[in-house]
C-alpha cells in the first residue's frame, strides 16, 4: 500500500500515518488479478479508500489509485462499490485539495457537491474543498 501511496500522491502519507489509518478506520480495496487457467495469481492492489462511519454518515479519509492505472475508471468503480455496499450511509463527506482537478472531477461524477472551503488548510497553503454526497 505504501508503494502505491508514494507513486500516486505528490503529498504522500508517511508509512506510519497510513498504518494508523488502516488500523483505526474502515477500508476497501480493489484488486487486479492475472488469470492462469483456473487459478488467479499475483493479485495486485490497484486502489484503496479509507473511511469512517458515524451512524448514517461517513467521511472519506483517504483515496488512492495507483498512478499506473489512473484515468481508467478504477477509483470510480471503487467509490461506486463502497457507496453501494454501505447502504445505511445517507451522506458522504470528504475534503480535497483545490488543485486536485482529477479528484474533483471524479467526486463530481459520483454526485458530490461543493459545500465549503477551508482556506490555507494544507502545509503548502492550498485550500481544502469540502464536498458532500447526499443520497
Could you list the active site residues?
Answer: 95, 107
CA distances, 39 to each of 32, 43, 93, 108 (Å): 13, 11, 39, 38
Radius of gyration of the chain (CA): 15
> Quick one: which of 79, 106, 102 has its CA closest to 10?
102
For the four alpha carbons of 12, 17, 19 and 23, in that order, the dihedral sign comes to negative
Q: With contact defined as beta carbons under 8 Å apart, do 98 and 87 qualify?
A: no
Helical H segments across 30-133, by residue range: 74-85, 101-110
Amino acid at each position: 500500500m505504501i508503494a502505491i501511496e508514494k507513486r500516486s500522491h505528490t503529498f504522500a502519507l508517511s508509512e506510519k500515518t497510513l498504518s494508523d489509518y488502516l488500523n483505526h478506520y474502515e477500508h476497501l480495496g480493489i484488486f487486479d488479478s492475472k488469470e492462469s487457467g483456473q487459478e488467479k495469481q499475483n493479485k495486485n492492489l490497484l486502489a484503496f479508500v479509507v473511511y469512517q462511519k458515524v451512524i448514517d454518515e461517513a467521511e472519506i479519509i483517504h483515496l488512492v489509485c495507483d498512478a499506473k492505472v489512473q484515468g481508467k475508471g478504477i477509483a470510480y468503480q471503487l467509490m461506486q462499490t463502497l457507496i453501494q455496499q454501505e447502504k445505511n450511509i445517507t451522506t458522504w463527506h470528504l475534503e480535497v485539495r483545490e488543485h486536485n482537478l482529477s479528484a474533483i472531477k471524479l467526486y463530481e461524477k459520483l454526485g458530490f457537491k461543493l459545500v465549503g472551503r477551508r482556506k490555507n488548510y494544507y502545509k503548502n497553503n492550498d485550500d481544502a474543498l469540502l464536498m458532500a454526497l447526499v443520497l
